[in-house]
Every structure is written in structure tokens, then in C-alpha cells.
Amino acid sequence: MSLEREEPHYFGAGPAQLPTNVLQQAAKDLINYANVGLGIGEISHRSKEAAQVIENTKANLRKLMKVPETHEVFFMQGGGTTGFSSLATNLSAAFVGKHGITAPAGYLVTGSWSSKSFEEAQRLGIDAEVLVNAKDYNNGKFGVIPPETAWADKLKAKKYSYVYLCENETVHGVEWPSLPKALTDSDIEIVADLSSDIMSREIDVSKYGVIMAGAQKNIGLAGLTIYIIKKSILDDISAASDDQLREAGIPITPIAFHYPTVVKNNSAYNTIPIFTLHIIDLVLQNLLKKGGVEAQQKENEEKANLLYGALDKHSDFYNVPVSKSCRSKMNVVFTLKKDGLDDKFLKEAGARKLTGLKGHRSVGGFRASLYNAVSLGSVRLLVKFVEDFAEENA
């Protein structure tokens, strides 16, 4: 069987397309990694080869994201949904460890994923509250980011253990253009889900308490999540005893998701999916060769501008239900203004080998995910189809 393939034009939201050269190298390494006579998925997670993969991946991620020495990098099994719970229990414990008291967690809800994260914190028994819900500012629908004046005063009124936001909402196509100033000016730990826009643009890691990012969008396969955390938060979590947490009513974090334990064991407290991690490392190496995050950001901005430009050009035919001030560069959502054409749109797109365009089942319509591995050429083909379809069906 050949390792060659026709380059796909796939716009699915995740698991997402990966660079072909990464998959080709991974396929070879799955059979025989570094000439050890075993595949990368067969070696012990505590072998020197596996330890080297972990260290290489951490180093490349630090280089690409300019991670300061104040922060630690580690990897855990699971995805964003696993992160919803581990963030809530670990960060609540950190506040107890630092201050000896509890405080509620604050959530900025701008789409389905930040909403689900809040709901999970509540389900676990974490004291959590919604600081702002974007639906309240957009006729009951997501599609805007409310002004900071709507919630900033709440940060001054009482203490919060952390404030959570999802920087890019894949379902609703909403992306925070930057961290809100009300948060960066506060002393509250910022906890951010970057699952679908990590390494799509440059950010200042030093401003974050914790960054979580599921791998299956921009950086690899499903099954692993990247975490970047302040070392001081790790110390605070460790300072909270189980007895203290029980007395405070904070759920005890399962040991496999207890951040200090995972870090102490170099992400290998339990069996890390080393093949999945190796693919992340190959993606990071590929991005470094491409010119890093700065080069990728320029390309992503061009891709997004091309597609939004085509949709806006035919605004009598397409509807983009997201405010221009917070349109996602990763997930472009849109609908058709004429009824009865959705199936035809997907069928004709498929005939041009443009796939993965169906919108999330909860909102319908269409979604084009422009992750890092989606080429500028693929986006140009999509733009041509979007324009042709509008002109032929107006």
C-alpha cells in the first residue's frame, strides 16, 4: 500500500486534516521507530525513547509559543471535555492551597463549549457562576462577545478562584480577538481553552494561569491534551491537602488528572499514548520549518479574509451569523438565505472534492474549518465554489 495520497480539501471541525508529510513519517514510525525494531506505539512509555519524545515535544512547543520559564508544559489523556473537569477541581484546589478559603469560579460563556465547561463545574459541585452569557446580548443566540463593561465590575466585587473562557468556539464560529483587558488587569488566574486556535496566532503565554488545548484540531490526533500552567499554581495545588479539600467541599481530583502528579512524572504517571504524542511533535517540527506561529498566523489571516470576503460579497445569498468584531479565523460558519439548497450545496461541493462542510448538528448550516493544515490553495478552491454557487442559484 502506497503512503501517497491526493491532497485533501477537508474542512471538518475535528478530528481535522493533518499535513500529509507528517502522516507519512508517522506511518513509517508506527512500524519501526528510530531503528529500534519496534513501532512508536509499542515502546514502553518509560523507555528512553519515549522520554525523548516527551522532551522533544515540550521543547518544540516552548519554542513555538515562547513559553516563559514561569510556566510548565505537560500532556494528559483525554480532550477538552476531560479538561472541563480537571481544570475545575485543580484550580479550585489551588485557591484553597494559596488562600485557605474557597472562592467561586467565573465563566465567560460565548458558545456551546464554554457553556458545557460551566455546566461540568456545576455538576461536580464546584461553586461556579456565569459572569456573562453572550446569548443575553444577541436575542438568545450565540454570535457576539459582550462588552467588558457588562461584567468587569463583578471582578472587583468579590474574589474568584479563576475565570474561564474558550478563546475559539468551534460550533458558533466566535473567537476572542484578544484576552479581555478586565482580566489581564486583574490578579485572577485566567484559564483558557485554546483547543481549536492554539498556534494559529501568536499569544502572550505569560498572561495565562492555565492553557488547555485538545490536540485534534491544529496539532494532532484525538486522545491527548496539551496543558501550559504557571508553576506557582502547581505549588498551590500541592499545598491543599485532601482533608482541607473535603472540609471545603471541593471534589478530590482523580490521581491521573492531578496536575502536580502528572508534572512530577513527566506526563507519564500512567501510560501516555506515545504515538499520539509523536504525531504532535511531528506537527510542531513541521510548523517550525514553515516559519513558526508568526508565518502561520499570516497565512491563516489570508485564508479567513478570502472566505469571509466571498461570503460578504454575496450577502444577499449567504448569512454569517457572527459579529464582524469576533469572527473566528478557524471556524467560518454560515447559512443560505434561500430554503431548499443545503443538500445541493454539499453535493456540489463534494463533486469538487470539497468536504467536511456540514455545520454542527446543533445549529445546522455550514462550517468551514480553516485549521493550520488546510492549505491556502484549498481555501481558494472553496472560495471559487462559494461564489459560483451563489451566482448560479441566486
Does 212 share its domain with 100? yes
- H or E segment to which residue 130 belongs: strand 128-133
Does 56 share its domain with 123? yes
Q: How many domains, in total, are found in the chain?
A: 2
Does 77 share its domain with 135? yes
Q: Which of 259, 287, 315 is the last residue of a domain?
A: 287
Integer CA distances (angstroms), 42 to 24, 31, 38, 58, 268, in order: 18, 9, 6, 21, 15
d(CA 88, CA 90): 6
Tell me which of 29, 58, 217, 329 is the catalytic residue.
217
Does 57 share its domain with 112? yes
Does 64 share its domain with 119? yes
- H or E segment to which residue 36 belongs: none
CATH of the domain at 188: 3.40.640.10
Residue position matching grid coordinates 471538518: 12
Q: Is residue 185 part of a domain?
A: yes
For every one of its 394 residues, what pLDDT tens digit does the chain have, with 9 covering 90 and above?
789 999 999 999 999 999 999 999 999 999 999 999 999 999 999 899 999 999 999 999 999 999 999 999 999 999 999 999 999 999 999 999 999 999 999 999 999 999 999 999 999 999 999 999 999 999 999 999 999 999 999 998 999 999 999 999 999 999 999 999 999 999 999 999 999 999 999 999 999 999 999 999 999 999 999 999 999 999 999 999 999 999 999 999 999 999 999 999 999 999 999 999 999 999 999 999 999 999 999 999 999 999 999 999 999 999 999 999 999 999 999 999 999 999 999 999 999 999 999 999 888 899 999 999 999 999 999 999 999 999 999 8
Q: Which of 287, 302, 326 is the last residue of a domain?
A: 287
**Residue 266 and residue 76 in contact, taking contact as beta carbons nearer than 8 Å:** no
Q: Which of 262, 287, 312 is the last residue of a domain?
A: 287
**Residue 202 and residue 172 in contact, taking contact as beta carbons nearer than 8 Å:** no
**Residue 90 and residue 74 in contact, taking contact as beta carbons nearer than 8 Å:** no
Does 98 share its domain with 214? yes
d(CA 177, CA 180): 9
Tell me which of 29, 58, 193, 281 is the catalytic residue.
193
- H or E segment to which residue 258 belongs: none
Q: Is residue 38 part of a domain?
A: no
Integer CA distances (angstroms), 394 to 173, 338, 347, 387, in order: 25, 8, 17, 11
Q: Is residue 253 part of a domain?
A: yes
Does 190 share its domain with 308? no
Q: Is residue 31 part of a domain?
A: no
Does 334 share its domain with 363? yes
Does 270 share its domain with 156? yes
Q: For residue 361, what pLDDT is reported? A: 86
CATH of the domain at 345: 3.90.1150.10
The SS3 of residue 35 is: coil
Q: Is residue 30 part of a domain?
A: no
Those residues whose C-beta lies under 8 Å from the C-beta of residue 343, and which sit 6 or more positions away, are none
Q: Is 193 a catalytic residue?
A: yes
Tell me which of 29, 113, 176, 329 is the catalytic residue.
113
Does 267 share its domain with 224? yes
Residue among 281, 169, 277, 284 nearest 224 (CA): 277
Give the domain range for residue 183: 48-287
Does 54 share its domain with 85? yes
Q: Is 113 a catalytic residue?
A: yes
Does 254 share its domain with 317? no
